[in-house]
Amino acid sequence: MSQLCACGVLDPYIDRRRNPGTGNPDKLYVGQSKPDAPAVCYNPLLSDMESIQKIADEECAKHDKETHAEFVNKNNFSCKVLLPTTAFYKCVK
């Protein structure tokens, strides 16, 4: 019996996608995340807030190594059906 060892449809993710072909830097990314304010889509039944915090911290560190993520709020039913909750953060020093 084999196992799947790849990203699954239930893994939390940063809600930011590239908008290829745009010449406007303000429209390069779409989704709820911004470089200084990550938004993480997740399923609260499958992921704990510590793991979501870690994902947000890593995203902040990508843009400025001296920052970490600070929780702002969360919103239900704003991402995919299986990952319905979005946790919003801001990057702070």
pLDDT tens digits for 62-89? 989 999 999 999 999 988 899 999 999 9
Residue 32 has pLDDT above 50, yes or no: yes
Higher pLDDT, residue 22 or 59: 59
Query: What is the spatial distance between Cα 53 and Cα 92, in angstroms, rounded to a whole number?
Result: 13
d(CA 39, CA 85): 10
Please give the C-alpha separations between residue 42 and each of 20, 22, 66, in angstroms, as whole numbers.
Answer: 25, 28, 25
What pLDDT shows up at residue 22?
73
Is residue 35's pLDDT more than 90?
A: no
If you ran DSSP here, which 8-state letter would residue 23 be given? Answer: -
Residue 89 half-sphere exposure toward CB, CA atoms < 13 A: 28
* Region 23-51 average pLDDT: 86
